Amino acid sequence: KQEVTQIPAALSVPEGENLVLNCSFTDSAIYNLQWFRQDPGKGLTSLLLIQSSQREQTSGRLNASLDKSSGRSTLYIAASQPGDSATYLCAVRSLTSGTYKYIFGTGTRLKVLA
Protein backbone atom coordinates (compact mmCIF):
# COMPACT_ATOMS: atom_id res chain seq x y z
CA LYS A 1 0.00 0.00 0.00
CA GLN A 2 1.43 3.37 -1.07
CA GLU A 3 2.05 5.83 1.73
CA VAL A 4 3.24 9.40 1.27
CA THR A 5 4.99 11.36 4.02
CA GLN A 6 5.94 15.02 4.07
CA ILE A 7 8.50 16.50 6.41
CA PRO A 8 8.46 18.95 8.06
CA ALA A 9 4.78 19.40 8.86
CA ALA A 10 5.31 23.13 9.32
CA LEU A 11 8.06 25.55 8.45
CA SER A 12 8.61 29.23 9.16
CA VAL A 13 11.38 31.12 7.35
CA PRO A 14 12.39 34.75 6.82
CA GLU A 15 11.76 36.33 3.45
CA GLY A 16 14.49 35.75 0.88
CA GLU A 17 15.59 32.39 2.20
CA ASN A 18 15.93 29.38 -0.09
CA LEU A 19 14.12 26.34 1.24
CA VAL A 20 13.50 22.67 0.56
CA LEU A 21 10.34 20.69 1.21
CA ASN A 22 10.54 16.92 1.34
CA CYS A 23 8.21 14.17 0.19
CA SER A 24 8.81 10.45 0.56
CA PHE A 25 6.79 7.50 -0.70
CA THR A 26 6.94 3.81 0.14
CA ASP A 27 6.33 2.20 -3.27
CA SER A 28 8.70 3.29 -6.05
CA ALA A 29 6.35 2.02 -8.79
CA ILE A 30 4.78 5.39 -9.44
CA TYR A 31 3.36 6.83 -12.65
CA ASN A 32 4.15 10.44 -11.78
CA LEU A 33 4.38 12.89 -8.88
CA GLN A 34 2.76 16.29 -8.49
CA TRP A 35 3.36 19.16 -6.15
CA PHE A 36 0.35 21.28 -5.23
CA ARG A 37 -0.18 24.47 -3.31
CA GLN A 38 -3.24 25.00 -1.10
CA ASP A 39 -4.21 28.39 0.26
CA PRO A 40 -6.57 28.62 3.27
CA GLY A 41 -10.19 28.13 2.26
CA LYS A 42 -9.25 27.36 -1.32
CA GLY A 43 -8.70 24.36 -3.50
CA LEU A 44 -5.40 22.99 -4.71
CA THR A 45 -3.27 24.53 -7.45
CA SER A 46 -0.89 22.31 -9.38
CA LEU A 47 2.69 23.63 -9.30
CA LEU A 48 4.80 20.97 -10.99
CA LEU A 49 4.21 17.52 -12.43
CA ILE A 50 7.13 15.10 -12.83
CA GLN A 51 6.66 11.99 -14.94
CA SER A 52 8.27 8.80 -13.63
CA SER A 53 10.93 8.95 -16.38
CA GLN A 54 11.99 12.49 -15.43
CA ARG A 55 14.40 13.62 -12.76
CA GLU A 56 13.27 17.20 -12.27
CA GLN A 57 10.95 19.98 -13.38
CA THR A 58 11.35 23.74 -13.04
CA SER A 59 8.88 26.61 -13.05
CA GLY A 60 10.13 30.07 -12.13
CA ARG A 61 11.53 29.97 -8.59
CA LEU A 62 10.35 26.39 -8.09
CA ASN A 63 12.33 23.26 -8.82
CA ALA A 64 11.09 19.75 -8.08
CA SER A 65 13.29 16.66 -8.21
CA LEU A 66 12.34 13.02 -8.23
CA ASP A 67 14.41 10.01 -7.15
CA LYS A 68 12.15 7.02 -7.69
CA SER A 69 14.63 4.42 -6.48
CA SER A 70 14.92 6.05 -3.06
CA GLY A 71 11.25 7.04 -2.94
CA ARG A 72 11.90 10.74 -2.55
CA SER A 73 11.01 14.08 -4.07
CA THR A 74 12.03 17.56 -3.05
CA LEU A 75 10.50 20.94 -3.84
CA TYR A 76 13.06 23.73 -3.85
CA ILE A 77 11.78 27.30 -3.49
CA ALA A 78 14.32 30.00 -4.25
CA ALA A 79 14.24 33.47 -2.70
CA SER A 80 11.06 32.86 -0.74
CA GLN A 81 8.42 35.61 -0.53
CA PRO A 82 5.50 36.20 1.87
CA GLY A 83 3.18 35.29 -1.01
CA ASP A 84 4.63 31.78 -0.94
CA SER A 85 2.96 31.19 2.41
CA ALA A 86 0.60 28.24 1.94
CA THR A 87 0.37 24.49 2.47
CA TYR A 88 2.35 22.45 -0.04
CA LEU A 89 1.15 18.95 -0.85
CA CYS A 90 2.83 16.25 -2.86
CA ALA A 91 0.86 13.47 -4.51
CA VAL A 92 2.05 10.30 -6.22
CA ARG A 93 0.04 8.55 -8.87
CA SER A 94 0.16 4.83 -8.17
CA LEU A 95 -1.71 1.70 -9.17
CA THR A 96 -3.99 1.10 -6.19
CA SER A 97 -6.84 -1.40 -6.08
CA GLY A 98 -6.63 -1.86 -9.84
CA THR A 99 -6.74 1.80 -10.88
CA TYR A 100 -4.29 4.65 -10.96
CA LYS A 101 -5.04 7.25 -8.34
CA TYR A 102 -3.23 10.06 -6.59
CA ILE A 103 -2.14 9.38 -3.01
CA PHE A 104 -1.53 12.63 -1.16
CA GLY A 105 0.82 13.47 1.67
CA THR A 106 -0.41 15.46 4.66
CA GLY A 107 1.37 18.60 3.51
CA THR A 108 3.93 21.10 4.75
CA ARG A 109 2.50 24.36 6.07
CA LEU A 110 4.91 27.13 5.04
CA LYS A 111 5.00 30.62 6.48
CA VAL A 112 7.37 33.19 4.99
CA LEU A 113 7.92 36.13 7.30
CA ALA A 114 8.32 39.64 5.86
Partner 1 sequence: EAGVAQSPRYKIIEKRQSVAFWCNPISGHATLYWYQQILGQGPKLLIQFQNNGVVDDSQLPKDRFSAERLKGVDSTLKIQPAKLEDSAVYLCASSLGLAGGNMGETQYFGPGTRLLVL
* Interface with partner 1 (CB under 8 A): 4, 31-32, 34, 36, 41-46, 49, 51, 89, 91, 93, 96-107
Closer residue to partner 1 (CB): 71 or 107: 107
Q: How far is the CB of 14 from partner 1 (least distance, A)?
A: 26
The β-bridge partners of 25 are: 4
With contact defined as beta carbons under 8 Å apart, do 47 and 62 qualify? yes
Q: How far is the CB of 26 from partner 1 (least distance, A)?
A: 15
Closest CA to 6 of 112, 92, 68, 95: 92
Q: How far is the CB of 38 from partner 1 (least distance, A)?
A: 8
**Whole-angstrom Cα distance, residue 55 to residue 60?**
17
